[in-house]
Structure 1
Amino acid sequence: MRAPSTEPAGVGRIEMKLRKVSQLFNTLDPSPFRESDLALQAEDYIVDRALELPSNIPIEIVIHLPSDELLQASEFDIASTIKDYFGLRRQAVSREMGELFKTGRLSLVVGLAILSVCLLLGWLFGQRMREDPLSQILTESFLILGWVAIWKPSEIFLYAWPPIAARRKLFLRLSEATVVLDGKPAT
């Protein structure tokens, strides 16, 4: 397999040199090409190379095969299988992001409720026993517990979703990629 290249026309090219078409697909999947999953190594290779390309250019996946394999392969079937596979991966990542935001919203409601109760309890302990060290410890403890309760939604809404959104965008680009089969003499 070769490294990606950028064509002068602004197309990011990912080239794969294979001995057999079957190297592209999961060998444990009994489905014909149209419904097959990509082999993990093929997916990883394509995704890794796509990450190296600029994000604002279209992707072209060129699969080099020996002539005898090329005769048996249907460019339409292989291209549609690759595109459909990454389309399904994009949908799965979209569902994952939806679930993450659903969890984030629920944990935000719970976290804000706990924070409010903790702040109220801390204030009450602070008002009743102003100089008592125990009340200061309790007041600070409730404050810390309240902030810990909103840790998870803060993490979700600030940090967890951008990598998932980037992965979804990458899978969309790969589902829209041009796939070309190229034959060469068998060696």
Structure 2
Amino acid sequence: MVGRDLDNEVEAYILESALELPERAYRLVIHVASSEAEPVGKDTIAAAVRSYFAYRSDVQARRLRLLLREGRHALLVGLGFLTLCWGLGFLAVDLVPVPFGDFLNEGLLIIGWVANWRPAEIFLYDWRPMKRQGAVLDALAEMDVHLRIDRPDSSAEPESGTKAQRDIAGKTVII
């Protein structure tokens, strides 16, 4: 079984680069100096990278499910509290003298609606970035991974930024 660990900086770089690109078909090129190349096969490295992002995709899906469950629970609590505030507001209008009863009724309604702020935030805004990141992680779990061993005799370094910019624009991330 391939391990589920990737350097945090490498993961962040790959994920942030993928989130910036509109496409969902990615290609990862890993440059390794020949002196650092281990006898680990290219297929093993590719499987490890894909396995890591598949694992991260599963974690993200669980986080999204938990967030939506929290949203449903918060919605039930918020609507129950709003109903309670609405009922207490009716009682306040009937039992409390005129200017104060109306004031208390409006205050209770506002408090009841404020209690629904968190479920509204979850269902309107919070889930969308998590869903998008999950889709990117799914695509990264299926991306092409290539291992390029750089020979020490190739002393020609690419000009600063030009090769990396072409590769990123061409959906290739170089680490």
Which band: TM-score by shorter chain?
0.7 to 0.9
Q: How many residues align?
A: 153
**TM superposition shift of 1:71:** 5.2
Find the counterpart in structure 2 of residue 155 from structure 1: 121
Instruction: For residues 45-94 of structure 1, give each alpha carbon's deviation from its aligned partner in whole angstroms, at most 9, with x where no partner exists.
Output: 11121122223x41010111122333523111111111011101010010
- Give the secondary-structure state (helix, strand or coil) at the position aligned to 1:34: coil
- Give the secondary-structure state (helix, strand or coil) at the position aligned to 1:69: coil
Cα 1:104–1:182, aligned 2, differ >3 Å: closer, same or farther?
same
Q: Show the 5 A alignment for 1:1-187.
A: 34-55=2-23, 57-70=24-37, 72-129=39-96, 132-186=98-152
Find the counterpart in structure 1 of residue 172 from structure 2: none
C-alpha contact (below 8 Å) 2:89/2:108 kept by paired residues: yes
Pairwise CA RMSD:
1.7
Cα 1:62–1:139, aligned 2, differ >3 Å: closer, same or farther?
same
Q: Identify unmatched segments of 5+ residues in structure 1.
A: 1-32
d(CA) in 1 for partners of 2:99, 2:48: 68
d(CA) in 1 for partners of 2:76, 2:4: 42
**TM superposition shift of 1:126:** 1.9
d(CA) in 2 for partners of 1:99, 1:71: 40
Corresponding letter in the other structure for 1:184: D
d(CA) in 2 for partners of 1:138, 1:43: 53
Cα 1:115–1:153, aligned 2, differ >3 Å: closer, same or farther?
same
What is the TM-score when the length of structure 2 is the normalising length? 0.81
